[in-house]
Structure 1
Amino acid sequence: MANPSSTSGIHMANGFDPADGGTLDPAAAALLHRRDSVLGPSYRLFYREPIAAESARGVWIHGVDGRDYLDAYNNVPAIGHSHPAVTAAVTAQLSKLNTHTRYLTEPIIRYSERLLAKFPAELNRVTYACTGSEAIDLAIRTARSQTGKQGLIISEHAYHGTTVAAAGISPSLGPNNPLGEHVVTIPSIDTARTPADQVATRLVESVEKAILTLEESGAGVAAVILDSIFSSDGVQTSPSGFLADVVAAVHRAGGLYIADEVQPGFGRTGTWWGFQHHGITPDLVVLGKPMGNGLPISAVVGSESVQEAFGSRVRYFNTFGGNPVSIAAASAVLDVIEEDGLVEHASQIGDKLLEGLKDIASRYEPVIDVRGRGLFLAMEFGANDETCTADPALAARVVNAMRDEGILISASGPAAAALKIRPPMPFSAENSDFLLETLDRVIEREVRSA
């Protein structure tokens, strides 16, 4: 039987492959051996030398090797690892009541009122699940029921989840992951190589071609589903508003716009929701694990009218979707974001990081683009000529060198040539300085040695 960790037939950005020759810490090597003896072969690990984590607090992960690693990658612990407010809220609720939504409980109503107040007024209903994948699945069912159509439009390197329906709209899972029926892809946005004044035009042209394909097939357009930060497509953020014409085109075709806010949501981009940077209101919004700082909770938010057809015909029941314990975690997350001003903080520290990344880029020819919003940023490597040919090898070297220096980031995009920097939201100015100084030193070393 194949060693799961050595399965290298499917490339994953920043994925571990023992054939690369990395030397593991003895404690990590022992864990890896035990892991490969019991876990399924579809699992993958990060980094040339995987991190064996023992504990985490705030923006730091402590390894079994005794080292502390600055976490500049994990968005799920949105308000920081092991946050005491979440621990206290979950512990108190778990000792009191944990049941399903077929009983009346007050916390889910109170939380829903607070959550919906963060959205445009027309988005006035929320349905809970446990994972982002389940919420994506529910959003697809809702859109198809509401429109009476089947077709879905996605970006060609999207990631939306792991259920049959969600994996079927997640081409970034690899070439052996089949897309679902009536799913059409559009080219990934490429702001590193596309003039800013052409981004929206090219995107809407691609969407209109996809609409035509679906209409000619008889499927029609149920929805376009886009991650509001285009994380798997390399973090595509500019210019503001480039999605507006796409949404208008889909609406003309009778379809809906589903905003996947699992990664950009809850203030990470310097606004509560990523779609706000485009000046649009989605028909449906999908939320995921960052809303509970990692506890199993997700949701679909939309208007009552958009959800009417599905809700009137189908009983949706997710046994522990929106259970009181997960709701307690989500409530604590909202408390911390509001009380600590983390939306504004993400904007301010994100601006600092963006300016720092641009300063670094100005000194190294292989850096062809820097982009980001709030605490979700990318630095892309490629040839400094008219081709701008992607350089995933340099990106991989930088990611692994940063890991060796004690800072965790990753890579993204169709060619995995863009660094992905996405820390927990309490990331401080001092953390930012450490990241920027280390990245500058690492890039200088890797460029010089190439």
Structure 2
Amino acid sequence: MAQDTFSKEETLAMRRRLIGHSCRLFYSDDPVKIIRARGQYLYDEHGKRYLDCISNVQHVGHCHPSITEVAAAQMDLLNINTRFLHDNMVQYADRLAASLPDKLCIFYFVNSGSEANDLALRLAQQYTQHQDVIVLDHAYHGHLMSLIDISPYKFRKLSGQKEWVHVAPLPDTYRGLYREDHPNPGDAYADTVKDLIDEVHSKGRKISAFFAESLPSVGGQIIMPQGYSTKVAEYVHSAGGVFVADEVQTGFGRVGTHFWAFQLQGEGFCPDIVTMGKPMGNGHPLACVATTVEIAGAFTANGVEYFNTFGGNPVSCAIGLAVLDVIEKEDLRRNATKVGAHLKQLLTQLQTRHDIIGHSKNGKSTIRMKENISKNRLKEQDRICVSTDGPWENVVKFKPPMCFSIQDADLVVRCIDRIITGMCLHPHSDKACSSQVYSR
């Protein structure tokens, strides 16, 4: 096992010399050097412990012994090109199928969420024989060129919007076109997609897919209004397109009440393609696309073989199976529901003590404020790691491992309470802007 041999300063200097500067670190002004982790905790080179509210990739907890044991055992036995027959892939696909609606029964294993979304785009375009894609404003779907093209969050900073990409309003009921006081924001936002489809058709173009995260992330941790996805799917299907649900960040029980975030839209809604990634392998690179027999059949019919050398290899699938086992055995969905409700209650209570808090939203743990909570303060003063998100980088987002506890939630809220109090006492200490706290 390699030992840590460099000081933090030496490691940082080497990184700056050897690694592309566009590969940014958390807390880039004063990055944290982490040398080990366990559960929901990170430890730096001095042994200081940090509460990890960033690593949704380590879904069931850092270095979970059940995961590491399975990974080591399978690595010691066999890891091989995925074009050899092996039980792990089919067993894992069967387990995934049991968590999804019946029609989502064909699987393609890949290595990352970006690969999954790129393949989903190919599947949609091959099946429909159309090119055009509708995405949500501020969306981000991955770092491949094909995905930069359908990610407003990225393409607006680069070469701009392609003629085959069409951007629908983000269905944000807090800051968007239709808000919580609207009688039916779900239908109203869905109608903006219908209007966009009509506009596309007026130009003589055809829709291949509507592509959206089930809970838009970079857009600001948006909870879709009820009925939105069902109505959008109706419009998209009528136009000959398919509905792609990006579950790369939100799948595998993170929403607690359901295994997949798209299921929050109700039993009547089922996407045509689902992509999954980050939490699947608990830190091991593992991702997948699930789709229907009809869409998979059209992809096969093009006569071009698809293979992925590493996607779905025996080690990856062994790890994926172990992750599903841990979610079930440790009842992590129930824990997410319980701790999430507790966190929401604590955050909502802050609203009664601080005028700075302007809004509390039902459903998820969301508090929106008139000032920005500094993630750097949480890191420096309390050794709590959180991230920021949203179009204005004013969303403080919690996405911890699923073993996050009631005690962890209590600690986080106490620290936020202290920071808000300090900001009220010293109102010029932070940049004034509307912000929110979001737990996922």
Question: Could you tell me the TM-score, scaled by structure 1's length?
Answer: 0.87
1:441 paired to 2:421? no
1:236 paired to 2:222? yes
SS at match of 1:128: strand
Shift of 1:188: 2.2
Does the 8 Å CA contact 1:131/1:297 hold for their aligned counterparts? yes
Question: How does 1:193-212 map onto structure 2 within 5 Å?
Answer: 193=175, 194-195=179-180, 197-212=183-198
Tell me the amino acid that sits aligned with residue 153 of structure 1.
Answer: I
Q: 1: CA distance between counterparts of 2:115 and 2:124?
A: 14
Which residue is equivalent to 2:294? Answer: 305
Which residue is equivalent to 1:276? Answer: 263
Which residue is equivalent to 2:434? Answer: none
Q: 1:138 to 1:231 in 2, by over 3 A?
A: same
Which residue is equivalent to 1:96? Answer: 77
Shift of 1:381: 2.8
Which residue is equivalent to 1:432? Answer: 409
Tell me the amino acid that sits aligned with residue 238 of structure 2.
Answer: R
1:403 paired to 2:368? no
Shift of 1:69: 0.7
Q: 1: CA distance between counterparts of 2:117 and 2:85?
A: 26
Does the 8 Å CA contact 1:153/1:184 hold for their aligned counterparts? yes
Q: 2: CA distance between counterparts of 1:50 and 1:174?
A: 28
Question: How does 1:25-64 map onto structure 2 within 5 Å?
Answer: 27-47=7-27, 48-64=29-45
Q: 2: CA distance between counterparts of 1:128 and 1:433?
A: 39
SS at match of 2:85: coil
Q: 1: CA distance between counterparts of 2:42 and 2:227?
A: 36
Tell me the amino acid that sits aligned with residue 221 of structure 1.
Answer: I
Shift of 1:239: 3.7
Which residue is equivalent to 1:126? Answer: 107
Once the two structures are superposed, what CA deviation does each residue of 1:182-233 show, in whole Å capped at 9, x if it has no partner?
Answer: 1111222322231253431332132123212322333311111111111111
Root-mean-square deviation (Å): 1.9
Q: What is the aligned length?
A: 411
Question: How does 1:220-369 map onto structure 2 within 5 Å?
Answer: 220-237=206-223, 239-270=225-256, 271-279=258-266, 280-313=269-302, 314-369=304-359
Does the 8 Å CA contact 2:214/2:224 hold for their aligned counterparts? no
Identity of aligned residues (%): 36
Shift of 1:176: 2.5
Tell me the amino acid that sits aligned with residue 215 of structure 2.
Answer: I
1:146 paired to 2:127? yes
Does the 8 Å CA contact 2:56/2:278 hold for their aligned counterparts? no
Shift of 1:403: 1.2
Q: 2: CA distance between counterparts of 1:149 and 1:158?
A: 21
Q: 1: CA distance between counterparts of 2:242 and 2:389?
A: 27
The counterpart of 1:107, out of the listed 71, 88, 92, is: 88
Does the 8 Å CA contact 1:232/1:412 hold for their aligned counterparts? yes
Q: 1:370 to 1:418 in 2, by over 3 A?
A: farther
Does the 8 Å CA contact 1:410/1:420 hold for their aligned counterparts? yes
Question: Could you tell me the TM-score, scaled by structure 2's length?
Answer: 0.89
Which residue is equivalent to 2:438? Answer: none
Does the 8 Å CA contact 1:124/1:302 hold for their aligned counterparts? yes
Q: 1: CA distance between counterparts of 2:363 and 2:53?
A: 15
Q: Which region of structure 1 is more displaced relative to structure 2, 234-243 or 81-90?
A: 234-243
Q: 1:234 to 1:187 in 2, by over 3 A?
A: same
Q: 2: CA distance between counterparts of 1:410 and 1:168?
A: 25
Which residue is equivalent to 2:169? Answer: 187
SS at match of 1:243: helix
Unaligned runs of 5+ in 1: 1-25, 383-390
Q: 1:341 to 1:406 in 2, by over 3 A?
A: same
Q: 1:181 to 1:307 in 2, by over 3 A?
A: farther
SS at match of 2:99: coil
Once the two structures are superposed, what CA deviation does each residue of 1:53-111 show, in whole Å capped at 9, x if it has no partner?
Answer: 11111000111243211011211000011111111111011111111221110111111
1:217 paired to 2:164? no
Unaligned runs of 5+ in 2: 1-5, 428-440
Shift of 1:445: 1.2
Tell me the amino acid that sits aligned with residue 264 of structure 2.
Answer: H
Tell me the amino acid that sits aligned with residue 204 of structure 1.
Answer: A
Q: 2: CA distance between counterparts of 1:346 and 1:56?
A: 21
Q: Which region of structure 1 is more displaced relative to structure 2, 205-214 or 160-169?
A: 205-214
Q: 1: CA distance between counterparts of 2:305 and 2:357?
A: 51
Does the 8 Å CA contact 1:58/1:426 hold for their aligned counterparts? yes
